[in-house]
Each structure stands twice: as C-alpha cells, then as structure tokens.
Chain A
Amino acid sequence: MSDTELDAVYLTFALASTTTIILLLLGTPLAWWLSRRSGNRVAAIEALVAVPLILPPTVLGFYLLILFAPGSALGQFWFWLTGSQLAFSFSALVIGSVVYSLPFVVQPLQAAFQRIPRETLQAAATLGAAPLDQFRSVVIPLSRRSFVIAACLGFAHTVGEFGVVLMIGGNIPGETQVLSIALYDHVESLQFAQAHRLAAALVVFSLTLLFFIYRADRQSAWRLRS
C-alpha cells in the first residue's frame, strides 16, 4: 500500500475513534437526561438528536461548511483558540462526524437507560448510593451491552461517512482524505486496482474489529450470568 493509502487508513481510524470517544462522553449524560424526563422540551431535543438520521448528508455538509468558514463566529473563535483554521481541517471532520453520528450513539443508550426500572435505583438510593454512584454502580453495569453497541454503531457510521466529508473535507491527503474519499478518488480516476485494495482493507478491518468487540462482550456477559 502506498503512503497516501496508509494515510487514508490511519486518518479513517483516527477520525472514527476520536468521534466515538467524544460521542460516548457527550452522549451518555444526554441519553440519561432524555431517559429520565418527559415533556415537550424533551421531545424537541429528541427530535433534534434524530435529525442526522433523516437529513441528507449533503445538507448537513452544506451548513457545516458555512459554520466552519474562517469568517464565521466559530471559525474566528477556533482561530483564536488554536492559531489554525477550522475549515478543511481534521478537527472540522471530527465536529462534523460527531453531529452526523450522534443519534447512532444516543438512541441505543437512551433505550437501555429507559429499561432500567426506577425502583432498582430507589433501592440503591436507600443503601446509600448518591445519583452519580447509582449511575456508576447500577446503570452502567446493567446497560453494558448497549454501550458496546452504541460505540460500534458510532464507529462504523463514521467510517462509512462520505457525503459530509465530501462537502467539508477538501480532500487533503494526510489530513482530510479518509478512506471513503480516497476510494472515490481512485474510482473516478479509473484506478480500479487501488480501489479494490482500499475497499478490501476497509472491509477486513471493520469486520475484524467488530468481531473482537462482540466476542469480548459476549464472553464477559456469559461469565456474569453463571
């Protein structure tokens, strides 16, 4: 594999991992909040979270492009904060991916949290567990499998991201040229051999990763049950 192809693989992996970690950190409290409350405000936020599911990636990419432009408020703030431009950078891809994959992480978590009965947490409270303690010692263990699923979904969805990156990435090798874009490039330039190679690498990598994750989760769940 050539250098640029390795770059594309590394970039894709880095983008998916970073996005997944950020989404787990942001999405967990959001999913918890959504699962414990009801009302119009909650329904509105649930709809907002679900928007990336139905919105075409190009629409999302379009608005992100405007959002990240150096002249925009966010662009200027970013420049002030880091000294470099946000548009067409890896960081822009991370932000875009976080928005794009948000429902894939939040929704499974929310569903899992909703399945935990209030009564179980009440019992924990009477035993001396404060809310954060309840979350750590009861909620997380009981929804462990959903965390795995949410992380896998978020990761896989980001790896497969194309439309958004096409609009906001700028196709810069080594910085924003992720696997899906590199593959597209090869196909467009009729370099089919390279395209096959990249596609194969992508498929093998994804399948292997998912296999090991699901297997590890199943093993520990089995141990717990017996």
Chain B
Amino acid sequence: MRHLVPLLLLLPLSGWAGDTVRVAVAANFKHTLEAVSAGFESRYGHQVLLSSASTGVLYSQILHGAPFDIFFAADAETPAKLASASQTPQCYARGSLVLAGGSADLQQLADRTLSLAIANPNTAPYGRAALQVLARPEFAAASGRKLVRGSNVVQAFQFWYGGGVNLALVPRSLAPEAAPIPLAWYRPLEQHVIALRDSEAVTAYLNWVRSDSVRSLINNAGYEPCP
C-alpha cells in the first residue's frame, strides 16, 4: 500500500517518447486541426493536446497564464496583441462565412420571421463578421428577428443543427454545402497562429502546418489559402 500512491502518481506520465505540444485552437478550426495533428503525431512521435473555445475566451485564458504552446486564432488582431520580439503571428488560413438553413437564398436574412444563430460577437471573430453582414441595409427590416448567440461557432452551428433555429451564420468548414456569403460583405477572416513558447516540437509542428500536404488538407476543409 505504501508503494501504491507513488505508483499512481506515475501513471499520468504516458508512454510518449517525445514532447507534448499544447495547442489552443479557435472553435471553427478544431476539427480540421485534429486531422492535422494526427498526421503530426504519427510522423514525429510528439503528443498534441488540443483545447478549443472561441478566440476571445482562449485569449483571456492565455492572459491569465494558461499553459498553451501555440495559439490558432480565428482573426489577425488577437494574435497580434500577443506578439513579442521573438514571436510573430502568421496567417495559416482564410475563413469564410456561409448561411446554413432553409433554401440557399441569402434573402432569407431579410425575413423577420426566421430565427438566426451566430457566434457571440464579443468573443468570436466569426460572430463579429456575422454582425457586419447583418448590418447591411438590405437586411435592416429583419433586425427584430430572434437572434440567438452561441458561446462559440460550434454552439451556434449546434443550435441550428438541432433544429432550435431556422438559420445560422457559421464557418464554411462546419457547413461546406451551405450558401456562401459574398466576401465583400465582411472584413476578411484572416486566421493567424502564434507560437507562445519555443521548443523543437513547436517549431516542428508549425513547419508541419505549413507543409504542402497539410495546406491542401486545410483547403479541402473549406478554407481559402492566405493572401
């Protein structure tokens, strides 16, 4: 029994030969990054731990000392606030908005009777983009509609997917078949990544993300290449 406790304490040390990379990823990119990380793990033998939430929430956590090594945001401004002499943010993908639900007609956004889900604009760049779309004059008539805010893009998508709302403005990566919103209607969603710590594994991971095979994986997931 005396030896049991030390033994139990040793358990969390998994059988990984390599390092652990802790990644904070914005909700819209999580699913894609899981696929990316699987390839990285099998290739390099390092372990990748993903934490996902909206960009703003992750930023808040990092400010309060969350132990992340890399931060994949959904915009450019947030990583810029974390930039330092040694770390500069880089674009890894360009996101786009789509309108999920109903017919493929974007004029549904002018219909007051249809309820709509977006991500919380306070914490999610996609939510801010959605607000920019809704602010357009042709949709002003529908400003009294039921507007439901999910805590991140995934919850907004889930509200629509579960039938709670008629429409949802969500990333194309979540609903590839849905009607795309014209890019001119919102400020570009250039998604940037920034390394928060330096290590061999971190450098390897970022190189991996930049590699051609991963780039095409990201494109297939519904993202545009960086400008």
Contacts and interface: CB of A to CB of B under 8 A. Distances in A.
B149 A170 contact: yes
Given A88-B148, A170-B148, A188 B163 contact: no
Interface in A48-102: 65-66, 68-72, 85, 87-88
A138 B56 CA distance: 57
Contacts of B123: 185, 188-189
Contacts of B151: 166, 171
Contacts of B115: 85, 88
A102 to B, nearest CB: 24
A69 B159 CA distance: 9
Given A65-B164, A70-B164, A88-B164, A190 B60 contact: yes
B201 interface: no
Contact of B162 (A69, A171, A172, A185): A69
Contacts of B170: none
B1 to A, nearest CB: 31
Contact of B147 (A66, A70, A172, A190): A172
Contacts of B148: 88, 170-172
Q: Which of A68, A72, A189 has the most CB of B within 10 A?
A: A189
Contacts of B57: 188
A70 B163 contact: yes
B47 interface: no
B197 to A, nearest CB: 22
A69 B163 contact: yes
B120 interface: yes
A88 B165 contact: yes
Contact of B165 (A66, A87, A187): A87
Contacts of A171: 120, 148-151
Interface in A184-205: 185, 187-190
Interface string B135-147: 0000000000011
Q: Interface range on chain B: under 10, 10 to 19, 20 to 34, or 35 or more?
A: 20 to 34
B63 interface: yes
Nearest to A177: B149
Contacts of A71: 163
A190 B122 CA distance: 10
B79 to A, nearest CB: 15
B58 to A, nearest CB: 10
A188 B122 contact: yes
B128 to A, nearest CB: 11
Contacts of B56: 188-190
Contacts of A88: 115, 146, 148, 159, 164-165
A193 B120 CA distance: 20
A189 B128 CA distance: 13
Contacts of A188: 54, 56-57, 60, 120, 122-123
Q: Which of B59, B115, B146 has the most CB of A within 10 A?
A: B146
Contacts of B122: 185, 188-189
Contacts of B159: 88, 170
Contacts of A187: 60
B164 A87 contact: yes
A126 to B, nearest CB: 57
A13 B90 CA distance: 47
A221 B36 CA distance: 68
Contacts of B178: none
Interface in A125-184: 166, 170-172
Nearest to B158: A65
Contacts of B164: 65, 68-70, 87-88, 170
12 contacts: A69-B162, A71-B163, A87-B164, A170-B117, A170-B150, A171-B148, A171-B149, A171-B150, A185-B123, A188-B122, A189-B122, A190-B59
Given A88-B159, A170-B150, A172-B148, 10 more contacts: A69-B162, A69-B163, A70-B163, A72-B163, A88-B164, A171-B148, A188-B56, A189-B56, A189-B60, A190-B59
Interface of A: 65-66, 68-72, 85, 87-88, 166, 170-172, 185, 187-190
